[in-house]
Amino acid sequence: MRLRLRPGERGSGRGRLRLVAAALAERDARVRDDRELDSDRERRVGHGRVCVAFRQDTSPPDDGYKPRLPVPLGVQVVGYETGVASGSSGSDDGSTDEPSDPNGPVGGGLYVASGGSVDYVEADPGTELAFGLGERCCAGTVHDGDHVACDAPDAPHCDDHSHVWVCARCTGTCLKDEMDCHESHAMYLAAFAPDVLKVGVTREWRLDTRLREQGADRAAHVRTFPDGRIAREVESELAAGDDLVDRVRVPTKLDGFGRAVNEAAWETLLDRFDPIERFEFDYGLDLTERPVAETMAAGTVRGWKGRVLVLDRGGSTYAVDARDLVGHELTDAVPERELQSSLGAFGG
């Protein structure tokens, strides 16, 4: 479920807010098999695992539509969403159809709150964003469709509004009062350019989604287990070795943007397994060099890779960790401050 705003459209009362709450709850259920303990795992709106599940709008965008939400005073970024490749479709039962172009540009957007209401600002490829970033504090929480603000200085969330899913710490010994992961789980290997190799576990039905939301470049489904406990135990054993990790932080992923995967290292790893299925992702960013890491919300959206928003501005390309936007106020004053430029801006 996605709520899309046309230019100038605002929330329309509690009915709309209840729809937002329902959307957040639906996405909450779909991301509860995330394994990473790093900031990839801390994407949330208040009390829940967030609105960042990879779900693409089931309806096609309006032709020529370039959304820009007029920014009311005090609007705050409270979450974000990225989708599967442009042209894909989804259904309310959690399934996702194959994208028409699996390596096409990826869309997404930001959830913003003001005066208790929650709205969605699209940031799909080609969208022109023109927001400045104001003060940053805790993004608060969303409860029964209403945003409850918090002025604590900790961002993106203070201790009262932070939550780490207990299953993220599982290594085969269940930390819950009662084990509830009684469904088929897939163990996968993922490669992040140029040579970071990861092992992970997810519910089998959302394997493709999980790989895309991490921004993996290559992946392989290598084992299937009857439940999550056994899968986590094997994952933990593999991650204890020297050649695999079980989490990859965003700065490490950024090092590989615009670079190729070390195919020799990847194939050597796969030789140890008998892959059930292999994946190769492109994301349609067409990068020839690494973008400049920056925290900003102004420029032309090139696309998304995982939770990283890629923007073109002033002849340079920038990579924005969407989590770094959460908690910021959005303003209509785009700063003119100097930004670090890529070599491409100088023709070098």
Which pTM was predicted?
0.72
pLDDT at 9: 42
Rg (CA), the chain: 20
pLDDT digit string (tens) for the chain, length 348 residues: 334 443 334 444 444 444 444 444 444 444 344 433 333 333 333 333 233 322 233 333 333 323 444 555 569 999 998 874 433 333 333 333 444 455 667 889 999 998 888 998 999 999 999 999 999 999 998 877 788 889 898 999 898 877 654 445 555 454 444 555 558 999 999 999 999 999 999 989 989 999 998 999 999 999 999 887 888 889 989 999 889 999 999 999 999 999 999 999 999 999 999 999 999 999 999 999 999 999 999 999 999 999 999 999 999 999 999 999 999 999 988 877 556 655 444 344
SS3 87: coil
Question: At 167, phi and psi to the nearest 5?
Answer: -65, -15
pLDDT at 116: 87
Which residue is listed with tokens 């022109």?
Answer: 128
User: What is the distance between the alpha carbons of residues 6 and 4, in angstroms, rounded to a whole number?
Assistant: 7
pLDDT at 327: 95
DSSP E strands, the chain:
44-45, 48-49, 76-85, 106-114, 117-122, 128-136, 141-143, 146-148, 185-192, 196-203, 218-225, 277-280, 292-293, 297-305, 308-313, 316-321, 328-331
Domain ranges for the chain? 14-166+324-331, 170-280
CA 157 to chain centre: 17
